[in-house]
Amino acid sequence: MIKKIQIENLYSDSFIDEIKDSTKNLKEDKSYNVIIEYYNEKILSSGQELENCEVSKDQLLLKKKIRNFYESKNINIKKLYILGSKDYTLMEEANFAVEEADTKEETKDIIWPCKEIFFYDGGKRILDDMLYNNEIDIVEYENQIKTLKYEFGLLDEFEDELYLN
């Protein structure tokens, strides 16, 4: 189940009230993963500031409210994802999804203040390994890093650099 939830304040009790509808079709004998993706207005567009973003107290309190709510309904939530984003389409609506999980999965809370940084970091690690193993040279590595930054919205001036070269 995926739904869009109108939000004024992600950390308010009204947001929890909005997700209560999701429990109607959930069964107590199954396990689920919950994914919340929202626009994190605290993130600025500068790449250096993005790298310094941290999990906030509000995000931790939201995690606690959601966990407590599902526990009170005897619904087993294996993984809870709270994913901040730079995606402006999420400014007024948060994406909310509930999917079935394997009962053997580990119970885990994943809070990413900016999902783009984590996806970028995974791609950068692959490029780091390729450079280390001499599969690409330093010039190709730097070009691929710029492309990654641009793909995840961490580098807005990439097109200007193309025109200069």
Residues 109 and 88 in one domain: yes
27 and 84 housed in the same domain? yes
Domain co-membership, 102 together with 150: no
- For the chain, what is the radius of gyration of the CA atoms? 19
Q: pTM of the prediction?
A: 0.73
Task: State how far Cα 89 lies from the chain centre.
Answer: 14
From CA 87, how far away is CA 120, in angstroms rounded? 15
Per-residue confidence (pLDDT) for residue 107, from 0 to 100 = 93
- The type of residue at 26 is L
83 shares a domain with 9: yes
Pair (49, 23) in one structural domain = yes
| 79 and 38, same domain (yes or no) | yes
Residues 78 and 104 reside in one and the same domain: yes
Domain limit, last residue, from 113, 128, 149:
113
| Domain co-membership, 136 together with 60 | no
Residues 109 and 151 occupy one common structural domain: no
Boundary (domain end) residue, out of 88, 113, 138: 113
Question: Tens digit of pLDDT for each residue in 24-41?
Answer: 788 888 999 999 998 887
What confidence tens digit (pLDDT) does each residue in 69-127 have? Answer: 999 999 999 999 999 888 888 888 888 899 999 888 899 999 988 887 777 778 888 88
Do 46 and 97 reside in the same domain of the chain? yes
Query: Number of folded domains in the chain?
Result: 2
For residue 33, the one-letter residue type is N
Query: Looking at 113, 136, 154, which one is the last position of a domain?
Result: 113
The secondary element (H helix, E strand) that includes residue 160 is helix 158-164
Same domain, 19 and 77: yes
Q: Residues 10, 48: one domain?
A: yes
Q: Is the pLDDT of residue 144 over 90?
A: no
Give CB contacts under 8 A, 24+ apart, made by 128-136: none
Write out the residue range of the structural domain in which residue 30 sits.
2-113
